[in-house]
Amino acid sequence: MIALLTDFGIEDTYVAELKLVLLSHGIEHTLDISHHVEAGNPRHGQFLLQSVYQRFPAGTVFLGVVDPGVGTKRVPVAIRFGRYWFVGPDNGLFSFASAGDVFHIDTKDPLFSPRISETFHGRDIFAPAAAGIHNHTDRFLKKMAGLSVVTPIRFVEEITRLFPGEVLHVDGFGNLVTSVRNALLGRVALVLAGKTVVHSHSTFSEGGDGMFMVPGSKGFIEIVARKRRASDMLKVEIGTQIEVRIK
């Protein structure tokens, strides 16, 4: 299986062009993780990918294209990490897989077109590379010492070791996914945008009219509001810092 994660959105032809390349290599079925990563934000893409990849079957190739440095000297890489492969730019997107085997993608191989767009490596480099790996071709992979950009996300996990958290994701309902583990729910208050969120509940339906915390499905506390968008109420965005206080 090939799974796709990009910041392309679905208004343009970019996602279709990736899939057409894969189709040209005989790959008819792909799975879309998301095409709404915050534009040019590999850290956001990293969180989304890290939170879901282990649910995929062994052998899945993850094609990740969140690439604000496209056309620059940043390196196109493929990483074999555990039971999976990750293909995309060396810009922090795959930081959680940095302990894996890292390979440089040699675009001089006949697998790649001699005409590579400087602004669309997703189509011209990463998609063919993902297809090659999926089809058990690895001659274009050159072993590297490791990733050059590693920016892992720090998760707040222990009551005895608190440090500032952050908003990692804003979902389609306006719920704020934080970097604070569910295990701390009910034991901490979260402060962001000058407001303190104290109350926590097990479900969305138990909350009152204001904002409250619930245990998120990804394993992290979410700040939510009934029938309203917590992101609009707080006017915050991905990357907003969160102070974590013991109740």
Answer whether residue 90 shows pLDDT above 90.
yes
Give me the domain span that covers residue 230: 165-246
- HSE at residue 22, side-chain half, CA atoms within 13 A, is 25
What are the tokens at 246? 């013991």
pLDDT at 147: 98
What's the CATH code of the domain at 204?
Answer: 2.40.30.90
What are the tokens at 73? 């000297």
What's the CATH code of the domain at 69?
Answer: 3.40.50.10790
Considering the domain architecture, whether residues 106 and 48 belong to the same structural domain is answered as yes
**CA–CA distance, 43 with 66 (Å, rounded to integer):** 9
Considering the domain architecture, whether residues 216 and 133 belong to the same structural domain is answered as no
90 inside domain: yes
What are the tokens at 5? 């994660």
179 inside domain: yes
Considering the domain architecture, whether residues 138 and 201 belong to the same structural domain is answered as no
- DSSP 8-state class, residue 20: H
Element containing residue 212 per DSSP (H, E): strand 211-215
User: What average pLDDT does this structure show over 201-220?
Assistant: 92
DSSP 53-109: GGGSPTT-EEEEE--TTTTSSPPEEEEEETTEEEEEESSSTTGGGTTSEEEEE-TTS
Considering the domain architecture, whether residues 60 and 8 belong to the same structural domain is answered as yes
Count: domains in the chain: 2
Considering the domain architecture, whether residues 129 and 217 belong to the same structural domain is answered as no
pLDDT at 152: 96
Answer whether residue 227 shows pLDDT above 90.
no
pLDDT digits (tens, 9 = 90+) for 10-43: 999 999 999 999 999 999 999 999 999 999 999 9
Considering the domain architecture, whether residues 121 and 197 belong to the same structural domain is answered as no
55 inside domain: yes
User: What average pLDDT does this structure show over 73-102?
Assistant: 98
pLDDT digits (tens, 9 = 90+) for 150-170: 999 999 999 989 999 999 999
115 inside domain: yes
pLDDT at 208: 78
Considering the domain architecture, whether residues 50 and 117 belong to the same structural domain is answered as yes
Please tell me the pTM assigned to this model: 0.95
Answer whether residue 184 shows pLDDT above 90.
yes
99 inside domain: yes
Domain end point (choices 76, 111, 143)? 143
Answer whether residue 207 shows pLDDT above 90.
no
17 inside domain: yes
pLDDT at 203: 93
pLDDT at 151: 96
